[in-house]
Copies of this chain bind each other. A is one copy, B any other.
């Protein structure tokens, strides 16, 4: 997968901050690590009544990371499409009491070339993206497996 350039990552950051419910989480685009898109957000903006990260914030940050990863691929391919989450399976494994570090990556059985080819030829395509929120020791605090759909905009 081609790693997007800093301009594309900066545009993604602006895109996230333009959505009020995303902006409230104070996400920042950290970049790519081993082919995975990483986002961060401060615990203070995402804390629940128990002093740990709110489950809805974990879900939202994983959604933003997976959506952002898919959107970057579409944009890098020069396509203009809307990207939607279709469904998601979430697991909350352990309370998180530190800042949120989230990464998203394409399912091993999928490839971006096939997704983009289908999007070009049929005007829509689906793929499966994984995301997780990492603890400081690298173990996951929460995981998500989601299907994303892209639909070409009619120009």
A interface list, Cβ under 8 A from B: 15, 18-22, 24-25, 44-50, 54-57, 59-61, 63-64, 67, 82, 84-92, 95
Cβ of A61: which chain B residues have Cβ within 8 Å of it? 56
Q: How many copies does the complex hold?
A: 2
Cβ of A90: which chain B residues have Cβ within 8 Å of it? 59, 87-90
In the bound complex, do residue A21 and residue B57 qualify as a contact, i.e. CB atoms below 8 Å apart?
yes
Given A54-B21, A56-B21, A60-B57, are A87 and B82 also a contact pair (CB < 8 Å)? no
Give A9 to B11 CA distance when docked, in angstroms.
42
In the bound complex, do residue A46 and residue B60 qualify as a contact, i.e. CB atoms below 8 Å apart?
no
Cβ of A18: which chain B residues have Cβ within 8 Å of it? 49
